[in-house]
């Protein structure tokens, strides 16, 4: 058996990311351990309630040397800021309620909940620019939305 | 309009405690979520779930705190505030009543967090690799330093 354990986003600032995912989104910290000898911090969060088996999102700092040289590191940071870092696809049972709740908590959405043939969805970004898509899956209906 | 069972209102409050334990939530906040007066709410909550809303919220926070003690290297004070507990003193006292030890002693019973979080080998390899600070392996470098 193979299962999804953790996925990963590059972030510009782990403290800022931690604040956003926990205080703004209300997620839980699955792990936060600093390895001083490596100059590395393993920071993993997950939507609440996050049991031990729940897949987590690892918030990894944009690496510098020796993993990436300074130019490559700056380029990667820029790409993430430009939205090229990737997308996390989330599902909810009520897109409008989640939108209202998260808006009240300070999340700036890219678009309001929008009807799609596959359901209702919306999206927002984390402080680094990573995209997070939030979908309420409904029975497929080509007449609903674009 | 269909009548909503009381338990559904109470569950709304329980869900709020589960989702927002880290905020400065109080029993009156939970009662408001259920749409009941605090006294009536506390009575009905205990009847439905077997413990008072105060106990439920407190044990939710302590369960999260215990998880953070095992899986992070945060200080006890940071964990206390991260789970919405008001003060380190009352948090430590409550923790002791539920878990039978101080937060520090509880943490010490488990392997260090870095053992538990299973940092993948690829990450260790990438981040733990030291930067080359001139190991005198470059022939030109060696020559310039007077090595043959």
At A58-107, the pLDDT tens digits run: 999 999 888 889 999 999 999 999 999 999 999 999 999 999 999 999 99
**CA geometry: angle at A132 spanning A127 and A137, to 5°?**
160
H or E stretch covering B29:
helix B27-34
**Residue in B20, B72, B126 nearest the CB of A32:** B72
Does the beta carbon of B125 lie under 8 angstroms from any beta carbon of chain A?
no
Q: CA of A50 to nearest chain B CA: how many angstroms apart?
A: 10
Instruction: State pTM to two decimals.
Output: 0.81
Secondary structure class of A51 (helix, strand, coil) = coil
Q: CA of A75 to nearest chain B CA: how many angstroms apart?
A: 18
User: Region B106-128: what's the mean pLDDT?
Assistant: 85
Confidence at residue B1, expressed as pLDDT on a 0 to 100 scale: 56
pLDDT class of B122 with cuts at 50, 70, 90: confident
Position with higher pLDDT, B5 vs A56: A56
Q: Which residues of A touch B20 (CB under 8 A)?
A: 26
Token pair in block for residue A20: 């956003």
The backbone torsions φ and ψ at residue A31, rounded to the nearest 5 degrees and listed phi first, read -160, 145
- Touching A: B residues 129-148, CB under 8 Å: 129-132
Q: By percentage, how much of chain A surpasses pLDDT 70?
A: 99
H or E stretch covering A31:
strand A28-35
Secondary structure class of B93 (helix, strand, coil) = helix
Mean of the per-residue pLDDT values of chain B:
88
Q: Is A64 left (phi over 0), alpha (psi -120 to 50) or beta?
A: beta
Q: Which residues of B touch A60 (CB under 8 A)?
A: 123
pLDDT class of B127 with cuts at 50, 70, 90: confident
Confidence at residue A49, expressed as pLDDT on a 0 to 100 scale: 82
Q: By percentage, how much of chain B surpasses pLDDT 70?
A: 88
Q: Nearest chain B residue to A51 by CA: give it.
A: B67
Token pair in block for residue A74: 């700056």
Q: Nearest chain A residue to B113 by CA: give it.
A: A33
CA distance B65 to B71: 10
ipTM over 0.90: no
Nearest Cα neighbor of B63 from B86, B95, B87, B92 is B95
Going from the C-alpha of B147 to that of each of A75, B136, B137, B138, B143, the distances in angstroms are 38, 9, 10, 11, 5
The backbone torsions φ and ψ at residue A35, rounded to the nearest 5 degrees and listed phi first, read -100, 95
Q: CA of A118 to nearest chain B CA: how many angstroms apart?
A: 28
**CA geometry: angle at B77 spanning B72 and B82, to 5°?**
65
Secondary structure class of A7 (helix, strand, coil) = strand
Confidence at residue B131, expressed as pLDDT on a 0 to 100 scale: 75
Confidence at residue A60, expressed as pLDDT on a 0 to 100 scale: 96
Q: CA of B137 to nearest chain A CA: how many angstroms apart?
A: 17
Confidence at residue A45, expressed as pLDDT on a 0 to 100 scale: 97
């Amino acid at each position: 058996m193979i299962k999804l354990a953790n996925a990963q986003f590059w972030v510009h600032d782990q403290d800022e990311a931690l604040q956003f995912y926990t205080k703004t989104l209300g997620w839980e910290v699955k792990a936060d351990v600093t390895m001083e000898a490596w100059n590395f911090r393993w920071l993993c969060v997950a939507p609440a309630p996050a049991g031990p088996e729940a897949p987590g999102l690892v918030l990894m700092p944009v690496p510098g040397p020796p993993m990436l040289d300074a130019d490559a590191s700056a380029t990667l940071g820029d790409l993430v800021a430009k939205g090229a870092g990737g997308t996390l696809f989330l599902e909810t049972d009520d897109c409008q309620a989640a939108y209202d709740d998260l808006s009240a908590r300070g999340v700036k959405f890219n678009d309001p909940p929008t009807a799609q043939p596959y359901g209702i969805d919306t999206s927002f970004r984390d402080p680094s620019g990573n995209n997070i898509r939030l979908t309420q899956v409904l029975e497929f209906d080509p007449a609903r939305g674009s | 309009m269909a009548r909503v069972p009381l338990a559904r209102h109470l569950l709304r409050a329980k869900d709020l405690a589960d989702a927002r334990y880290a905020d400065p939530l109080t029993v009156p906040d939970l009662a408001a979520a259920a749409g009941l007066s605090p006294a009536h709410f506390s009575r009905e909550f205990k009847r439905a779930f077997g413990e008072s809303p105060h106990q439920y919220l407190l044990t939710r926070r302590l369960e999260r705190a215990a998880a953070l003690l095992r899986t992070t290297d945060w200080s006890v004070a940071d964990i206390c505030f991260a789970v919405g507990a008001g003060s380190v003193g009352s948090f430590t006292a409550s923790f002791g009543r539920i878990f039978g030890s101080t937060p520090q002693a509880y943490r010490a019973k488990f392997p260090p967090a870095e053992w538990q979080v299973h940092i993948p080998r690829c990450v260790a390899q990438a981040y733990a690799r030291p930067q080359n600070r001139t190991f005198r392996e470059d022939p030109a470098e060696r020559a310039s330093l007077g090595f043959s």
